[in-house]
Amino acid sequence: MAKAVLTPQAANFPAWYQDVVARAELAETGPVRGSMVVRPWGYAIWELMQADMDRRIKATGAVNAAFPMFIPMSFLEKEQEHVDGFSPELAVVTHGGGEELAEPLAVRPTSETVVNHYFARWVQSHRDLPLMLNLWNSVVRWELRPRLFLRTTEFLWQEGHTAHATREEAVEETRRMLEVYRRFMEETLAISVVTGEKSPGERFAGAEHTYTCEALMRDGKALQMGTSHDLGHNFARAFDIRFSDAEGEHRHAATTSWGTSTRMIGGVIMVHGDDHGLRLPPAIAPHQVVVLQLDEEAEVAAAAARLEADLRGAGVRAHLDARTHTSFGRRSVDWELKGVPVRIELGARELVSGRATLVRRDDRSKTSAPLDGAARAAVALLDEIQDGLLAASRTFREEHTHPVTDLDEFTARVGEGGLFLAAWSGAEESERVLGERTGATIRCLVDAEPPAPTCLVTGEPARHTVLLGRAY
């Protein structure tokens, strides 16, 4: 048995998380506080997520573009709530080309302002609408308590920005993208999420409505995995995005924005990971199957290469590990740490028996298959693993979601972790009280009967059912 290389989750979940990120070679702390170096294994996961998400976004009719990272401070100030929301987080460029700049520049914390500035130039007629853009870039928000992938000063993401003729269409777009995100998270990341509207206290600065995807991590804390914002006419008014409608009337467009980031990698780690390391859903595994060549004999090497070719022929991202001079234990521990879904062990013994050993990463169970059927057996396992991880994520979330009707009971139980359903009056002040008393926040409003007739916090008549929890 290889000795444990990670702090166990039960002993110290944050230490386990740091260990996995380091040992699976996903990322490292950057040289500037809060910044991050995404190492090749982490970046390969991101590339697969990007490619999948990009296809889904383009299927909605949006197209990609690029906008500058430097934004004049005056742009940010045009939408008051927006500048208030981002001011304390900005990185500011004051010098360029060896001189002090006349106007300081913000490094984009998000691109609503600059995109909507250009929307105003590009949108003249109703025939220019809808205008649907997506950007893949990185943004900067100064972080005092950084954590790799979850909260870093600079992070990689996609940000969508759209303009529509009517509020109705913009709301429809906001919800469509929330659904695109939900399906991506479930189908690709194998993470079950709750979707719903954010409360006013958690809304994006400048939005009329913010919708979110919330997932439950294995330590019982919630993680916001993606958001979609109905910006109403706020940015269109601030940046003067007007179009002439079919009757020749000039009207303001309605805009939206929506984003997901490398934070989702943090979610994948904390939803699927176990005490042996990462467990990657096959859809985003850079190597879906590793063929572990156990002996250096030419016949073994040939059989291992043949199996790798079979797997590739079957559309599998296969990798042949022929490092026979490195110990079996070290190699198998490494691939477990890195979360490779299936490992196939193939040595002289397997050649004699005519059967290879397949090891699943999810439950670490072993099966064997005839050499010429091993690729097919691996493909079947990959499907099972992808489905199994999602099912486990859904079961875990459901089993750790509880209705609560009494604030004292909630305060006592919130430390156990998990999500809680409660009745809420909708009073903004109660959000603050809730946070101060329990450390929990309203993750989102959900479409369900309130578990009590009166608000958990204020005792006023219940107007909403909310999902509560402590969050990253």
Q: Residues interacting with a copy of itself, by CB under 8 A?
A: 28, 30-32, 35-40, 43-44, 46-47, 63-72, 75, 87-98, 104-105, 107, 114, 117-118, 121, 133, 137-138, 140, 142-144, 153-154, 156
Report, in Å, the least distance between residue 92 CB and a copy of itself.
Answer: 4
Kindly tell me the sign of the dihedral angle through the C-alpha atoms of 154, 207, 204, 420: negative
Q: Which of 94, 126, 100 shows the shortest CA–CA distance to 245?
A: 126
* CA 250 to chain CA centroid, nearest Å: 39
Identify which of residues 47 and 398 has a Cβ nearer to a copy of itself in the complex.
47
Identify which of residues 153 and 174 has a Cβ nearer to a copy of itself in the complex.
153
CB 206 within 8 A of CB 235: yes
Identify which of residues 21 and 36 has a Cβ nearer to a copy of itself in the complex.
36
CB 354 within 8 A of CB 372: no
Q: Which of 447, 438, 428, 432 shows the shortest CA–CA distance to 406?
A: 438
- The CA-CA-CA angle for residues 218, 272, 265, to 5°, reads 100
Q: Is 341 in a helix, a strand, or coil?
A: coil
Report, in Å, the least distance between residue 389 CB and a copy of itself.
Answer: 25
Query: What is the distance between the alpha carbons of residues 369 and 373, in angstroms, rounded to a whole number?
Result: 6
Report, in Å, the least distance between residue 51 CB and a copy of itself.
Answer: 10
- State the amino acid at position 21 in one-letter form: V
| Residue 90, phi-psi category: left (phi > 0), alpha (psi -120 to 50), beta (remainder) | beta
Query: What is the distance between the alpha carbons of residues 216 and 223, in angstroms, rounded to a whole number?
Result: 6
* Strand blocks (E) in 322-412: 342-346, 355-360, 366-370, 401-403
Identify which of residues 47 and 363 has a Cβ nearer to a copy of itself in the complex.
47
- State the amino acid at position 94 in one-letter form: T
Identify which of residues 91 and 392 has a Cβ nearer to a copy of itself in the complex.
91
- Between helix 263-272 and helix 13-23 the angle, nearest 10°, is 110
Cβ burial, residue 5 (10 Å; 0-12/13-18/19+): middle
Report, in Å, the least distance between residue 110 CB and a copy of itself.
Answer: 15
CB 83 within 8 A of CB 302: no
Identify which of residues 43 and 424 has a Cβ nearer to a copy of itself in the complex.
43
What 8-state DSSP symbol labels residue 247?
A: T
Report, in Å, the least distance between residue 83 CB and a copy of itself.
Answer: 13
Report, in Å, the least distance between residue 146 CB and a copy of itself.
Answer: 11
Identify which of residues 46 and 211 has a Cβ nearer to a copy of itself in the complex.
46
CB 264 within 8 A of CB 44: no
Report, in Å, the least distance between residue 160 CB and a copy of itself.
Answer: 13
Query: What is the distance between the alpha carbons of residues 268 and 40, in angstroms, rounded to a whole number?
Result: 17
Report, in Å, the least distance between residue 246 CB and a copy of itself.
Answer: 13
Identify which of residues 121 and 364 has a Cβ nearer to a copy of itself in the complex.
121
Q: For residue 461, which phi and psi values (nearest 5 degrees)?
A: -55, 140
Identify which of residues 68 and 354 has a Cβ nearer to a copy of itself in the complex.
68
Identify which of residues 56 and 394 has a Cβ nearer to a copy of itself in the complex.
56
Report, in Å, the least distance between residue 229 CB and a copy of itself.
Answer: 21
Identify which of residues 139 and 445 has a Cβ nearer to a copy of itself in the complex.
139
Beta bridge partners of 134: 64, 160
Report, in Å, the least distance between residue 273 CB and a copy of itself.
Answer: 21
Q: For residue 104, which phi and psi values (nearest 5 degrees)?
A: -65, 155
Report, in Å, the least distance between residue 396 CB and a copy of itself.
Answer: 30
Identify which of residues 39 and 167 has a Cβ nearer to a copy of itself in the complex.
39
Report, in Å, the least distance between residue 159 CB and a copy of itself.
Answer: 14
Query: What is the distance between the alpha carbons of residues 301 and 307, in angstroms, rounded to a whole number?
Result: 10
* CA 66 to chain CA centroid, nearest Å: 21
